């Protein structure tokens, strides 16, 4: 069976309180750091030779819980997901409340945005390419409105084109997602063809539950990270297959375990990040193959 078996890790929500990394400020509670690479892989242990459990994107604030040489265990504040990342991929926030948490902030709305040394994309190669939803601290605009200067997590600056981002006067005022279901369904099609990535939760590559989590966020709902736990989320209620509506979430698996998820978009179809047939985000028919694997159907409670 060409079906990605998404057996997720146990003890994801275990909070670990241990010695803090020496490269960070010594605090009584978890140290706050910020991701300083476009996408950082979160591993199940302090090694790049174990499975990737999730990811965090550039500029994301994360909590540092524990250390081993060259590695730190972290927790993403939004969904409280834990994993190990390479210490060099983080920057200590020090006394700052958070990166891009106040002042003028740009949020990447394109699938990716390129950061440059100069306000001219023809002079030199990009410094960085960052994914959708990346937040950047903005320090000034170039007259004419086409370019913005961003202060990066490591203190350096770079230029970003304003057309790739949405600008907010105060990072604290960035609204939560408020898309309607039809808007979210249309929005989801922007991601068609992006690669499936195990543990992925960025526009560089999503896995099934990371993709559904991101779509639900656009509607203002923060659901858990993994498919099996998503199906148990208190904000969902069961719905019959015969009564499915666009925006409902489908859960698939076998042998009593949920291992895959996708978003129903109507007309007997759903969109998902899958390795079935092609390892990409695609629209699949809810046909006999998928109905055999269907284990649960959920709708947001009214």
What distance in Å separates the CA atoms of residue 45 and residue 88, rounded to the nearest whole number? 16
Question: What CATH code is assigned to 1-96?
Answer: 2.30.30.40
Is residue 150 within 8 Å of residue 139, measured between CB atoms?
Answer: yes
The whole-number pLDDT of residue 96 equals 81
Same fold, 1-96 and 181-300: no
pLDDT tens digits, one per residue of 265-293 = 999 999 999 999 899 999 999 999 999 99
pLDDT surpasses 80 at 133:
yes
On the question of pLDDT at 194 being above 60, the answer is yes
Question: Cα separation of 52 and 145, whole Å?
Answer: 40
- In this prediction, residue 73 carries a pLDDT of 98
Q: In this structure, what are the phi and psi dihedrals at residue 68, rounded to the nearest 5 degrees?
A: -140, 165
| Crossing angle (nearest 10°) for helices 181-188 and 208-218 | 140
Comparing C-alpha atoms, which of 99, 77, 95, 90 is closest to residue 36?
90
Query: Distance (Å, rounded) from C-alpha 90 to C-alpha 94?
Result: 12
Q: What's the confidence (pLDDT) of residue 10?
A: 37
Q: Is 274 in contact with 262 (CB distance < 8 Å)?
A: yes
Quote the tokens at residue 201: 């939760």
pLDDT range class, residue 27, cuts 50, 70, 90:
very low
Mean pLDDT, to the nearest integer, of 235-259? 97
Asked whether the beta carbons of 129 and 113 are under 8 A apart, the reply is yes
Domain limits of the chain?
A: 1-96, 105-169, 181-300
Query: What phi and psi, each to the nearest 5 degrees, are found at residue 279?
Result: -80, 70
Give yes or no for residue 18 having a pLDDT over 80.
Answer: no
**CA nearest 290: which of 298, 300, 273, 269?**
269
Q: Is 108 exposed, middle or buried (0-12, 13-18, 19+ CB in 10 A)?
A: buried
Strands, DSSP E only, in 18-134?
31-35, 39-43, 52-57, 61-68, 71-76, 81-86, 90-92, 105-108, 112-116, 128-131
Options 3.40.50.2300, 1.10.3720.10, 3.30.300.210, 3.90.1720.10; CATH for 181-300 is 3.90.1720.10
The per-residue pLDDT of the chain, averaged, comes to 90
Residue-level pLDDT at 163: 95
Per DSSP, 30 falls in state P
User: C-alpha distances in angstroms, 151 versus 116, 148, 207, 257?
Assistant: 12, 10, 30, 45
Q: Are 200 and 206 spatial neighbours (Cβ–Cβ below 8 Å)?
A: yes
For the segment 178-202, the average pLDDT, to the nearest whole number, is 98
225, 79 contact by CB (below 8 A): yes
Structure tokens at 167: 């600008």
Contact of 258 with 231, CB cutoff 8 Å: yes
How many angstroms separate the CA atoms of 29 and 27, rounded?
5
Q: Which of 85, 58, 92, 51 is nearest to 70 (CA)?
A: 85
CATH class of 105-169: mainly beta
The confidence score (pLDDT) of residue 30 equals 56
């Amino acid at each position: 069976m060409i079906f990605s078996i998404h057996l997720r890790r146990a003890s994801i929500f275990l909070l670990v309180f241990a010695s803090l990394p020496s490269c960070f400020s010594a605090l009584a509670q978890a140290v706050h750091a910020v991701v300083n690479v476009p996408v950082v892989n979160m591993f199940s242990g302090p090694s790049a030779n174990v499975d990737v459990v999730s990811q965090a994107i550039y500029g994301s604030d994360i909590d540092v819980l524990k250390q081993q040489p060259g590695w730190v265990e972290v927790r993403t504040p939004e969904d409280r997901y834990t994993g190990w990342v390479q210490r060099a991929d983080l920057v200590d926030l020090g006394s700052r409340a958070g990166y891009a948490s106040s002042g003028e902030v740009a949020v990447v709305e394109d699938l990716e945005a390129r950061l440059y040394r100069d306000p001219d994309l023809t002079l030199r190669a990009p410094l960085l390419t960052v994914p959708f939803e990346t937040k950047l601290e903005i320090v000034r605009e170039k007259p004419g409105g086409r370019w913005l200067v961003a202060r990066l997590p490591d203190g350096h600056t770079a230029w970003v084109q304003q057309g790739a981002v949405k600008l907010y006067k105060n990072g604290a005022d960035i609204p939560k997602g408020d898309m309607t279901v039809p808007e979210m369904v249309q929005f989801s099609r922007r991601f068609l063809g992006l690669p499936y990535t195990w543990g992925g939760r960025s526009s560089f590559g999503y896995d099934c539950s990371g993709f559904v989590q991101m779509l639900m966020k656009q509607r203002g709902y923060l659901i858990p990270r993994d498919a099996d736990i998503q199906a148990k989320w208190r904000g969902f209620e069961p719905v019959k297959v015969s009564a499915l509506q666009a925006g409902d979430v489908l859960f698939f698996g076998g042998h009593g375990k949920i291992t895959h998820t996708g978003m129903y978009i109507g007309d007997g179809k759903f969109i998902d990040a899958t390795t079935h047939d092609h390892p990409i985000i695609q629209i699949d028919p809810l046909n006999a193959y998928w109905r055999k694997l269907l284990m649960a159907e959920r709708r947001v409670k009214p």
